[in-house]
Every structure is written in structure tokens, then in C-alpha cells.
């Protein structure tokens, strides 16, 4: 376990704030009335764009490795936010989430080539394949079932083909290219690292052929998923890194962390008698379902306790952790200042031991 883990922050795409049900940080929603003693009534001081920039600065200053801007059908456009974050940072890697139906693979690759050139090759992709059919149709995308994986396969094949090969020609079911391929200034740049997800066979097969990092969720069976993907990738002559999307609530000690969790639970309308306990085997707290989104599972505890939970995933082979916590700016600083140093010290000791 000598590989240093990679930590990223999840960027809010339609609101942020201390209250789990409000999105008033960044003015995505109408601000609550100001108290009477406030004498500066200017509105829009920190709009969505300014708030996203603050998230990026916080992540970079706090020492996080990157930021994930997820595809959000009701939120801000991820590639636009990613471009802003890349423009406002020097070291931060930014993953833009999108689905294959947003554009042709040639256009997506060309747009990304410009971003790579302008930002020193710090853009990554997360391709969402298994969209909710209702969401997909609302975005003009009527492809269903296995065809979605077949199209994603062609999308990535064509995008990589025009990126790396001058005079590239492709004849597929979903895309055709004749004598394409990038030339300078768009040629010779690093292709965005590809992040994929999903636990079903089609998802693992696609990742085995195209993913650089496969992102799991805490509720999935990582033992089975990692073993299955590892075998498939090996058969393709490739290796795929494993990542985890993980909500966290970390504080100085356990008591403070659970007091905070109870407070958020109450703000989100949860009754005290219904306050859920963490899973005794995994330590995952199902209460994130109410305060962070449907189905969310995550870790609550002291910095050392949350770090121990993350180490358990590292033991399974996970090397990339996409953390989420609200409000994002404050929590990014908190995680960077208190949680990440626990792993930096650990990595230094491991490196010294290896040498």
C-alpha cells in the first residue's frame, strides 16, 4: 500500500450552504432576508460563478488533488464549471462529468484538447452511461439498455482515435469519421483520464477497455467489483485504478462529529427517534441519504476515525477518494488541514520503509 491516495472534492452544481436543504450559498436560490442591522444590502456579491471559484481555491490551497464536477441534469453545466476551475487554479485536476449524448465524440475531444492545452493537461472526464431513462429522454437522449454501453464504447474509441491518430477513419453503429484526426495545435496533448462507474457487467466491461479510474459507491460490493474489473482489465492487457465517491463528516472527536450529524439530521426534518446508527460492519452512516442525497452512505467521526475508514478501502485497492461535504468551501479547508495530513505522514513512513 505504498501508492499515495488521491483526494478530490465534489463541486456543488446547484447550491451549497450550511443547511442541508437550502442552496442559498452562491445565490442559486433567493437569499433569506437580511437582518435589520445589516447596512450593506447589495445582492449577488457571491453568485454561483464566484462561489465555484471559491471552492476551487479552497481545494487547491488545502492541498486536495482535484475536484469532480458531476453531471447534474438540473445543475450547472459541468464542462463550463470545469473550465472555470481550471482557469482559476494552477495544480488542481478537474474531472468534468457528462454523458455521451451531449455531443459528438469529435467535438467533445476538440473542446477538451483546447482545455488541456490552456491548463497544462489537468482536465479529466467522467462519462455517465447508465442515466435514469427519464433524465436521458429529457435531455433528448432516447437510447436505452445495452445500447448505452455500446455507444459509450464507440464514443471513447472515436474520441481517442481522433486525438491520437492523424487521418483517423471509423465506421460504427453510432458514429462515423472519415479522414479525421487532430493536427497542431490540438495534437500531441495528454488525453483526459477517463473515469467510469457502475457495478453491472456492461459497466465493468467498458471500464476494462477504457477507464483509467473506476469510481465505486460505498453501498456497492467493492470486493466483487474490484475483483471482477481487475480480471477483465487484465484480459484486455490493461490496469484500472479504483476510486470511491464518499460523503464524509469529520470533526475533532467522535462526540463533536455526531453532534454535528444530529444537528444536520434535525435541520433536514429528521426526528430524533429516527436518527440512524452507522452500520456496525462497515461504519457507514445511512443518514447521508437525508442530508446529502438519496442513497448516500458515508463516514462520520473524528479525523482519525474517518481516516481509519478510508484506510479500510485502501486495503481493498482504492487509491482515489472523491469526498463530498457541505458547505464545500469550509469543509475543503477542514479536510485539507486535518484529514489529509494523516495520510501524508503515512505515505512518508511507507516511502522511508520501502527505501
Cell of 61: 490551497
Q: What residues contact 67, with CB distance under 8 A and at least 6 apart?
A: 8, 9, 10, 11, 55, 56, 59, 85, 92, 93, 94, 95
Q: pLDDT band at residue 255, thresholds of 50, 70 and 90? A: very high
In this predicted structure, what is the pLDDT of residue 341? 95
Contact at 8 Å (CB) between 92 and 54?
Answer: no
Question: Where do the domains of the chain lie, and which CATH numbers do they carry?
Answer: 6-32+45-352 (3.20.20.30)
Q: How far apart are CA 302 and CA 80, in angstroms?
A: 35
Q: How far apart are CA 338 and CA 332, in angstroms?
A: 10
- Check pLDDT > 90 for residue 319: yes
Q: Give me the percent of the chain exceeding a pLDDT of 70.
A: 91
In this predicted structure, what is the pLDDT of residue 153? 98
In DSSP notation, 16-80 reads: B-SSTT--TBTTSSPPPPPPTT-----S-TT-HHHHHHHHHHHHHHTT--EEEE---TTS--HHH
- Check pLDDT > 60 for residue 355: no
- Check pLDDT > 60 for residue 2: no
Average of pLDDT values for 235-240?
97
Q: pLDDT band at residue 351, thresholds of 50, 70 and 90? A: low
Per-residue pLDDT of 191-230, as tens digits, reads: 999 999 999 999 999 999 999 999 999 999 999 999 999 9
CA distances from 90 to 93, 123, 217 (A): 9, 12, 29
Nearest CA to 159 out of 125, 184, 129 is that of 125
- Check pLDDT > 90 for residue 29: no
Average of pLDDT values for 304-331?
96
Average of pLDDT values for 303-332?
96
Cell of 201: 457487467
The residue ranking higher by pLDDT, 349 or 335, is 335
Q: Give me the percent of the chain exceeding a pLDDT of 90.
A: 83
The helix or strand, by DSSP H or E, that contains position 14, with its residue range, turns out to be none
Average of pLDDT values for 59-71?
97
- Check pLDDT > 70 for residue 281: yes
Per-residue pLDDT of 104-131, as tens digits, reads: 999 999 999 999 999 999 999 999 999 9
Contact at 8 Å (CB) between 297 and 284?
Answer: yes
Per-residue pLDDT of 35-57, as tens digits, reads: 777 776 665 556 788 889 999 99
Contact at 8 Å (CB) between 244 and 322?
Answer: yes
Average of pLDDT values for 177-194?
96
Average pLDDT score, the chain? 92
The residue ranking higher by pLDDT, 30 or 222, is 222
Tell me how far apart the 2 most distant CA atoms of the chain are, in Å: 67
Q: pLDDT band at residue 339, thresholds of 50, 70 and 90? A: very high
Q: Out of 28-42, 88-102, 275-289, pick the least confident.
A: 28-42
Backbone angle region of 27, left / alpha / beta, with phi > 0 → left and psi within -120 to 50 → alpha: left
Amino acid at each position: 500500500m505504498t501508492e499515495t491516495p488521491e483526494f478530490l472534492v465534489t463541486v456543488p452544481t446547484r447550491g451549497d450552504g450550511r443547511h442541508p436543504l437550502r442552496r442559498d450559498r452562491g445565490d442559486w436560490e433567493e437569499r433569506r432576508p437580511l437582518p435589520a442591522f445589516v447596512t450593506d444590502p447589495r445582492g449577488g456579491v457571491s453568485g454561483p460563478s464566484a462561489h465555484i471559484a471559491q471552492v476551487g481555491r479552497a481545494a487547491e490551497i488545502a492541498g486536495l488533488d482535484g475536484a469532480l464536477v458531476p453531471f447534474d441534469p438540473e445543475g450547472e453545466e459541468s464542462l463550463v464549471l470545469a473550465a472555470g476551475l481550471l482557469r482559476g487554479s494552477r495544480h488542481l485536476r478537474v474531472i468534468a462529468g457528462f454523458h455521451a449524448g451531449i455531443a459528438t465524440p469529435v467535438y467533445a475531444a476538440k473542446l477538451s484538447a483546447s482545455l488541456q492545452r490552456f491548463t497544462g493537461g489537468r482536465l479529466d472526464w467522467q462519462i455517465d452511461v447508465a442515466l435514469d431513462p427519464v433524465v436521458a429522454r429529457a435531455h433528448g437522449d432516447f437510447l436505452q439498455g445495452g445500447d448505452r454501453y455500446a455507444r459509450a464504447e464507440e464514443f471513447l474509441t472515436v474520441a481517442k482515435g481522433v486525438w491520437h491518430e492523424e487521418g483517423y477513419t471509423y465506421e460504427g453503429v453510432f458514429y462515423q469519421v472519415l479522414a479525421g484526426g487532430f493536427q497542431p495545435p490540438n495534437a500531441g496533448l495528454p488525453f483526459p483520464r477517463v473515469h467510469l462507474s457502475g457495478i453491472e457487467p456492461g459497466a465493468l466491461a467498458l471500464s476494462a477497455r477504457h477507464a483509467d479510474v473506476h469510481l465505486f459507491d460505498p453501498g456497492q460490493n467493492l470486493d466483487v467489483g474490484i475483483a471482477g474489473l481487475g480480471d477483465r482489465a487484465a484480459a484486455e492487457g490493461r490496469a484500472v485504478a479504483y476510486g470511491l465517491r464518499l460523503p464524509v463528516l469529520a470533526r475533532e472527536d467522535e462526540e463533536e462529529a455526531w453532534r454535528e450529524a444530529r444537528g444536520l439530521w434535525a435541520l433536514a426534518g429528521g426526528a430524533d427517534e429516527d436518527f440512524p446508527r452507522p452500520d456496525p460492519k462497515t461504519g457507514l452512516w445511512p443518514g447521508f441519504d437525508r442530508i446529502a442525497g438519496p442513497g448516500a452512505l458515508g463516514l462520520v467521526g473524528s479525523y482519525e476515525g474517518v481516516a481509519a475508514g478510508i484506510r479500510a478501502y485502501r486495503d481493498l485497492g482504492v487509491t482515489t477518494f472523491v469526498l463530498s461535504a457541505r458547505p464545500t468551501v469550509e469543509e475543503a479547508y477542514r479536510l485539507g488541514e486535518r484529514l489529509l495530513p494523516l495520510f501524508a505522514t503515512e505515505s512518508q513512513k511507507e516511502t522511508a520503509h520501502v527505501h
